[in-house]
Structure 1
Amino acid sequence: MAEYDLNELQKIRENKEVLEYLEEHGIIEIKKFNDIYDYEKELYDLQVKLLKLQYEIIEKGKRVLIIFEGRDAAGKGGTIGRIIEHLNPKKVRVVALPKPTEEESGQWYFQRYIKHLPNAGEIVIFDRSWYNRAVVEPVFGFCSKEQHELFMNQVPEFEKQLVDDGIILIKLFLSISKEEQAERLKERKDDILKRWKIGTLDQQAQEKWDVYSGYIEDLFKQTGTKKAPWLEISKDNKKKARLASFKLIINAIVGNEQEKPDTFITKYD
């Protein structure tokens, strides 16, 4: 999954003659090369830190639940891919549930998610979660106003119970600008290898931008609590957003007091 081999980048970086030759012949730009190297090096270091934390999670039987929400095309999938890339696959799960079945539609809304909560020693990542009912469902009319309001009232207490029971709950929201979203959606449409990423709802993300914004604002106001704060990453740069996600997850797991948000919704630019 790695975009570049860090060891090979290191060899090139240490050989100034090779670097100068590549730049002179227009093969690479030194600044761009250094940016790539710095990113891959920092990413590698963060992956090592997270892997070491996973050893501790397994040994001590901790339970970690990471929720990824965000705008369409904000980079959730790529970020999750880098997070799990070098973790022990037996102790990490990515949950991306499809739309509810007829049976599930008749259940308590949280019921189908509960069965996927982490066991002792596990990290579970929700690639979209119960928060579909906070934004996507009301935007497209997939739930009633009453169902949406009931969810917004219930979710803070539901998450409080999870945290009180010992689950480390980390809620990340990836934001991008409207212009960047339009560019990424176009790139997916034009690239045959990425076209599968575009769903029917993604195609309406731009025209419903303002409607989304209203529900997202309510999401932060009503469901960001002291025990389960939202951490919003506002970056149009995918690589910087990935690094920020790693840092927030690591700090949340180790309980770094200095990095805890002062407010219940913290934006990381």
Structure 2
Amino acid sequence: MAKQAPDKMKRKDYEKELLKLQTELCHLQAWLKQSGERVIVVLEGRDAAGKGGTIKAITARVSPRTFRVVALPAPSDRQKTQMYMQRYVEHFPAGGEIVIFDRSWYNRAGVEYVMGFCTREQHRRFLELCPVVERFLIDGGTRLIKIWLEVGQEEQERRFKARIEDPLRQWKLSGMDLESYKRWYEYSTARDMMLDYTDRDHAPWHIVHSDDKKRARLNVIAHILSSIPYEKVKHAKVVLPARVTRDKYDDKASIAGRRMVEERY
């Protein structure tokens, strides 16, 4: 008997759990700064699988200097002549940083292959060499976490239709999204080939079902936290120092008469 899908998570429960996980991300951030560790999170998945919302949940309460998000556009003419991985490598983390790739070098295994933006030989060569490159990266001391968000056909269709009807979300819908919707099974085949070649013990893929966005976000954050052996860093208690006083200086009067934003609210 097929396992019945759980009901969508209630917002109140979601926000309670999210706050707990975001607190742990702050502890992770402090540990990263102290330890100098380097972490890469590769976040891939089908279009409308929820990558953007997941990244917002991860980064909402941490520093963008420590948690950097990289979402590269299509390569320029110059970049097309470079070694394929070159434009990604320049965004890799320094010590004390975690870089989240909102799509990554795995574009070659997905959209580039399905849409014919690379040759079959380039695709095959990428799949064969990718585990070698990732082994080199990991042996150099970088932690690599690879996550695939998997959304179902019906839920993807619902989300695309919502984008069409909602002016606040129409910007999310591109011509490439429509092509990906049409080519569902081609993308499925490409995904499976990618997993066959690049799901290795030293750089495994972990799949997250994302029909329920709330549960997916929580599961992704919990997985990231469980993949890094961080510890809570002890901080000295902070005490605000006394302000230096300046007699007869009225800092409120000094800006009176300046151009002020109209208080509409």
Could you give the per-residue CA deviations for residues 148-181 of structure 1, whole angstroms, max 9, x where no partner exists? 0111111000001111111110000000111110
Superposition pairs of residues 1-269 of structure 1, within 5 angstroms: 35-254=10-229
Deviation at 1:85, TM superposition (A): 0.6
TM-score, with structure 2 as normaliser: 0.82
Larger Rg: 2
Secondary structure in 2 aligned to 1:254? coil
Partner of 2:262: none
Query: Runs in 1 of length 4+ with deviation above 2 angstroms?
Result: none
Q: Which residue of 2 aligns with 1:8?
A: none
TM-score (ref. length: structure 1): 0.81
Identical amino acids, percent of aligned pairs: 46
Larger relative contact order (CA 8 Å, sep ≥ 6): 2
Comparing 130-139 and 81-90, the one that deviates more = 81-90
Give 1:206 deviation, angstroms. Answer: 2.0
Q: How many residues align?
A: 224
- Uncovered stretches (5+) of structure 1, i.e. residues with no partner: 1-30, 256-269
CA distance in 1, matches of 2:201, 2:177: 32
Cα deviation for residue 209 of structure 1 reads 0.2
Q: Is the 8 A contact 2:50 2:210 kept in 1?
A: no
Structure 2 Cα separation of the partners of residues 235 and 92 of structure 1? 22
Distance in 2, matches of 1:163 and 1:92, equals 19
Higher helix proportion: 1
* Aligned-partner SS, 1:206: helix
